[in-house]
């Protein structure tokens, strides 16, 4: 028989003492490294208590498979306390990100049809490709301006704008014009608000929502302001689309974006649509832009791989006569390169689920209602799971039988990332356009580490050079 829960290895200290040590050791921005070290110390399963939250942590794909296969119809992840606290404080409805139970499921099923289903997803391709083309145009103009036949910069701000422009195009069917020299200050404020919202979440991550709301600390106030700015700006965009639809300004035959489809369908109450669309708008900025920054960095450091990808893209372009939907069907290495980027640089440090029944992980019996975390960052760098983990090698994803519960960057199952298909297409099309037009270069010597700011980010600016082919 399997071993009892109480025997799972880990520190036996109290939760508050643990949280104190965690703070002291600079754990705030270092969650990913601390986890990786704990797996080394305790083995492939350990328990941990931070503040009031106790969790079991696992690293192996087999255990992840066991966890996700038993998650049931209404999977729940760790509900980020300050996000819940903000909505309760301002009396805002939850979107799919924070909803649970049947309420989550019915919203999610309606949203899936408009955001994830293969039927609509193909329609996103021209919208996202157009934004990619505009990025190339802007980059060419910057090359001209430099007078040096190249553009060298920290691209993070450019990519934030690219990412916001991209999600908004599919959500609202409209362009914001963020890839021009003049950037709407309101859009820039939205971008800054999302970054601030993530940044102020991490120090409050392990405190219970009730405690947070009573707190008048600086971090909580900044957090509230950040969410206020996010909701205000999203509301403006949503109102515009709503008004245009009522005035029938849009031709009823052309695709008007995700929001207008949801409004026309009339299956969800307006407040629920607004809540989830706001979450998608906010969720669509830092996630894809940071991943693209890492992807370009890795490709710059592996010129051979970059050449292989370029050859694949150019061949696909030739064969498909420029049809982007067709091209996406014959660029497996490009897709693998994005998977590989997310292996080394996942957005989410862990995936989490509350167990609904007893499961056996590493021969320990884990009771129902336990928070179990899959250490995604640690798994991506574990040599047992990925041989030579430090090597960026997209081909590893093309080996048969190599993927079993390893490509988990967007989560798994019915609760996986709602924006997954948007994110994947946006990133694939962006890299396609860049590879068709530029060589990506960087100073080879520069090492860039990772910092936890709720999502994982580069710990210093990444300077890249785009050189026209």
Nearer to ligand 2DC, 77 or 317 (CB): 77
**CB of 104 vs ligand 2DC, minimal distance in Å:** 13
Tell me: does residue 455 bind ligand 2DC (CB under 6 A).
yes
Tell me: does residue 410 bind ligand HEM (CB under 6 A).
yes
Question: Do the bridges between strand 463-468 and strand 438-441 make them parallel or antiparallel, or are there none, so unpaired?
Answer: antiparallel
And the tokens for 202?
């991490």
Long-range contacts of 118-121 (CB under 8 A, 24+ apart): 120/258, 120/261, 121/421, 121/425
And the tokens for 132?
């990619």
Q: Which positions from 113 to 152 touch ligand HEM by CB under 6 A, shown as an x/- string?
A: ----------------------------------------
Number of helices (H), then strands (E), belonging to the chain: the values are: 18, 11
Residue 115 makes CB contacts below 8 A (sequence gap 6+) with 258, 280, 418, 419, 421, 422
Using CB under 6 A, which of the segments 30-38, 81-89, 246-254, 416-424 binds ligand HEM?
Answer: 416-424
**What distance, in Å, lies between the first and last C-alpha atoms of the chain?**
63
How many of the chain's residues bind ligand HEM (CB under 6 A)?
27
Using CB under 6 A, which of the segments 27-35, 212-220, 419-427, 439-447 binds ligand HEM?
Answer: 419-427
Nearest to 361 by CA among 29, 8, 98, 106: 8
Using CB under 6 A, which of the segments 75-83, 255-263, 329-337, 399-407 binds ligand 2DC?
Answer: 75-83
Tell me: does residue 268 bind ligand 2DC (CB under 6 A).
no
Tell me: does residue 279 bind ligand HEM (CB under 6 A).
yes
Using CB under 6 A, which of the segments 178-186, 205-213, 355-363, 406-414 binds ligand HEM?
Answer: 406-414
* Subset of 271-290 contacting ligand 2DC (CB under 6 A): 279, 282-283, 287
Residues forming a β-bridge with 455: 453
Nearer to ligand 2DC, 230 or 464 (CB): 230
Tell me: does residue 429 bind ligand HEM (CB under 6 A).
no
Of these partners, ligand 2DC, ligand HEM, none, which one is at the site of residue 282 (CB under 5 to 8 Å by kind)?
A: ligand 2DC
Q: Which residues of 348-365 are buried (b: 16+ CB within 10 A; e: fewer)?
A: bbbbbbbbbeebebbebb
Task: Write a three-state SS string for 175-238.
Answer: CCCCCCCCCCHHHHHHHHHHHHHHHHHHHHCCCCHHHHHHCCCHHHHHHHHHHHHHHHHHHHHH
The number of beta carbons lying within 10 Å of the beta carbon of residue 402 is 12
Which of 80, 153, 344, 360 is the binder for ligand 2DC (CB under 6 A)?
Answer: 80
Tell me: does residue 56 bind ligand HEM (CB under 6 A).
no
**CB of 341 vs ligand HEM, minimal distance in Å:** 9
Residue 179 near residue 162 (C-beta atoms within 8 A): yes
Q: Which positions from 326 to 345 touch ligand HEM by CB under 6 A, shown as an x/- string?
A: ----------------x---
- Which single residue is written with the structure tokens 């099309």? 429
Tell me: does residue 291 bind ligand HEM (CB under 6 A).
yes
Query: Which residues form the interface with ligand 2DC (CB under 6 A)?
Result: 77-78, 80, 97, 205, 279, 282-283, 287, 347-350, 352, 417, 454-455
């Amino acid at each position: 028989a399997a071993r009892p829960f109480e025997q799972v290895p880990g520190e036996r200290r109290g939760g508050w003492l643990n949280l104190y040590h965690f703070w002291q050791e600079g754990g705030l921005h270092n969650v990913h490294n601390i986890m990786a070290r704990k797996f080394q110390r305790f083995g492939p399963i350990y328990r941990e208590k931070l503040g009031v939250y106790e969790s079991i942590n696992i690293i192996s794909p087999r255990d992840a498979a066991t966890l996700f296969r038993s998650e049931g119809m209404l999977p729940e992840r760790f509900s980020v306390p300050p996000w819940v606290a903000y909505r309760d404080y301002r009396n805002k409805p939850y979107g799919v990100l924070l909803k649970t139970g049947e309420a989550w499921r019915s919203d999610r099923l309606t949203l899936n049809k408009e955001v994830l289903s293969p039927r609509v997803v193909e329609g996103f391709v021209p919208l996202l490709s157009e934004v990619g083309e505009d990025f190339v145009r802007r980059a060419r103009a910057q090359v001209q301006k430099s007078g040096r036949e190249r553009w060298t910069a920290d691209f993070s701000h450019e990519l934030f704008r690219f990412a916001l422009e991209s999600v908004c195009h599919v959500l609202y069917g409209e362009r914001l014009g963020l890839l021009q020299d003049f950037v709407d200050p309101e859009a820039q404020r939205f971008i800054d608000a999302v970054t601030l919202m993530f940044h102020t979440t991490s120090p409050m991550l392990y405190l219970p929502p009730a405690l947070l709301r009573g707190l008048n600390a600086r971090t909580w106030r900044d957090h509230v302001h950040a969410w206020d700015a996010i909701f205000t700006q999203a509301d403006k965009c949503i109102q515009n689309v709503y008004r245009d639809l009522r005035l029938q300004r849009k031709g009823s035959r052309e695709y008007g974006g995700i929001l207008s489809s949801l409004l026309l369908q009339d299956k969800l109450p307006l407040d629920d649509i607004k809540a989830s669309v706001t979450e998608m708008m906010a969720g669509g900025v830092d996630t894809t832009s940071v991943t693209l920054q890492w992807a370009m960095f890795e490709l710059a450091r592996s010129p051979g791989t970059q050449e292989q990808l370029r050859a694949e893209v150019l061949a696909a372009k030739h064969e498909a006569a420029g049809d982007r939907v067709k091209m996406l069907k014959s660029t497996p290495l490009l897709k693998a390169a994005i998977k590989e980027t997310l292996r080394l640089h996942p957005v989410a440090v862990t995936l989490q689920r509350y167990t609904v029944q007893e499961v056996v992980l590493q021969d320990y019996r884990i009771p129902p209602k336990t928070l179990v975390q899959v250490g995604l960052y640690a798994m991506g760098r574990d040599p047992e799971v990925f041989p030579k983990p430090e090597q960026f090698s997209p081909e590893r994803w093309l080996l048969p039988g190599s993927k079993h519960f390893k490509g988990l960057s967007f989560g798994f199952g019915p609760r996986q990332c709602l924006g997954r298909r948007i994110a994947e297409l946006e990133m694939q099309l962006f890299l396609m356009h860049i590879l068709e037009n530029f060589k990506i270069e960087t100073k080879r010597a520069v090492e860039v580490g990772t910092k936890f700011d709720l999502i994982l980010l580069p710990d210093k600016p990444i300077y890249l050079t785009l050189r026209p082919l």
